[in-house]
Amino acid sequence: MFSLPPLLSPAHITGQPAPYAPACVVSTAAGALAALAAWYPGHWQALLLLLPAAWSRMRGRAAAFAVWMGYYLAGARDIPAVSMRFFSGYGELTRPEALVLGVALWIAQACVLATPWAMLKPKSNASAARHALCAAIATMLVTVPPLGIIGWLSPAYVASALFPGWKAPGLVLGITATACAASVSRARFARQFATLLLMLSVIARSVASVPVVPSRWTALDTRLGRFDQSSYASLYARTQQVRAIAQRAFSEGATVVVLPEEIVGLWRPAMGYWWRDDIQAFAAAKRTLIVGVDLTASGTPFRYTDSAVVVGADHGRLDSRQPVPAALWRPGAAVSAIRGSLTQPYVMVAGESVAFSICYEDLLWWPHWRILLQSPDVLVSLSNSWFDSDLALAHIQRQGIAAIARLSGVPLLRAVNR
């Protein structure tokens, strides 16, 4: 039998070892399995450490890219379905058009988030310290803006599993654990450091307690579906539904009631009139309602904030620091949500300091920087999931904000519309 001379072997032609394609397939599958194990349907975020460990063992940037590509594709697998439902639901695109857009966004987000891991992949013979440093830098790049604007599924979430209640130091130790996982098979000092981190994790988990939500605070899930705001008849019907839900909760003894994101839609003068008597009654009875609304910021081009508004016995608001890209946040478009300031203070409600997470923020770390430094008394999450409540994304979103609450040691109240 004839054989290829050395200079014409596949390794020389492609610049990769002969089993190049199979290695990439295996790497992609490994990343996908890690996503399923760490997130829905799995719930073991500590397994995120397997990703940097596998990444460091890959030979070549293509295989390193593949493992993270598989992870982000599997973890964000609902983007095509969400795009189809959302954009066709509002009549902006047909279902086929919205599906095509969703597939493009799904592939693009995986490529964007996997790229830092490929670019920073050291050569196989690089030192353990270099592998650790590159893993830490890549983790930061996919967690904070600009890439962090789509920074869902960040490996930094391992911090909440390992160091609950340790706030900012816990996040730093979690990123350190990611770096350690990338170098643990390469140097003795990395294994010793990993042992230390394991001991600290055992201590953190053993002393962690379950935060308690303040008495008579309640978050209400609703099943009102997509809000049709095309007529005053539909606006009034939704207002009546939401008013009845809030009044029923207060009549059952609640003093603070939380309703979902955008549950009353865009706040108009007519809605202020419809709600006026209720808000005055809430204030007189020392009751507080937290409700999700859209507030007009400018008329031309039309800009609005996706906000949580506090009315009744207390007053305040917080604007979403990152509305959903493409769906709500569309810089340059005729209609777009705008981002709220990252320095917005906590809102005082019934004597408690409250931090907010509005919908898409549940999936991100950076909007919540303050709660890792200055712990609030309560973390309130508002979401509107009429387009994804039956998908894995809804479970992953809940896991994400629960992880942030767990790391910060803060009780979580969450209201969702389905």
Name the band, by pLDDT with cuts 50, 70 and 90, for residue 22: confident
Average pLDDT, the chain: 94
- Residues 6 or more apart whose CB falls under 8 angstroms from that of 364 comprise 148, 151, 152, 322, 400
State yes or no: pLDDT of 8 exceeds 70: no
Structure tokens belonging to residue 347: 């809102």
State yes or no: pLDDT of 260 exceeds 70: yes
- For the purposes of burial, counting CB atoms within 10 Å of the CB of 123, is it exposed (0-12), middle (13-18) or buried (19 or more)? exposed
pLDDT for 318: 98
CA dist 210 and 207 (Å) reads 10
Name the band, by pLDDT with cuts 50, 70 and 90, for residue 15: very low
| Cα distances (angstroms) measured from residue 180 to each of 21, 38, 352 | 28, 18, 39
Neighbour-count burial for 129-168, b at 16+ CB within 10 Å, e otherwise? ebbbbbbbebbbbbbbeebbebbbbbbbbbbbbbbbbbbe
Structure tokens belonging to residue 406: 């767990």
CA dist 353 and 311 (Å) reads 15
User: For the residues 246-264, what does the mean pLDDT come to?
Assistant: 97
Q: State the pTM of this model.
A: 0.92
- The DSSP secondary-structure symbol of 266 reads B
3 state DSSP class of 377:
coil
pLDDT for 312: 97
User: For the residues 299-311, what does the mean pLDDT come to?
Assistant: 97
How confident is the model over 79-105, as pLDDT tens digits?
999 999 999 999 999 999 999 999 999
CA dist 222 and 8 (Å) reads 65
Domains and CATH numbers, the chain: 6-207 (no CATH), 217-417 (3.60.110.10)
Helix-helix angle 167-183:128-141, to 10 degrees? 130
Q: Are 54 and 61 in contact (CB under 8 A)?
A: no
Structure tokens belonging to residue 302: 């039309």
% the chain with pLDDT above 90: 92
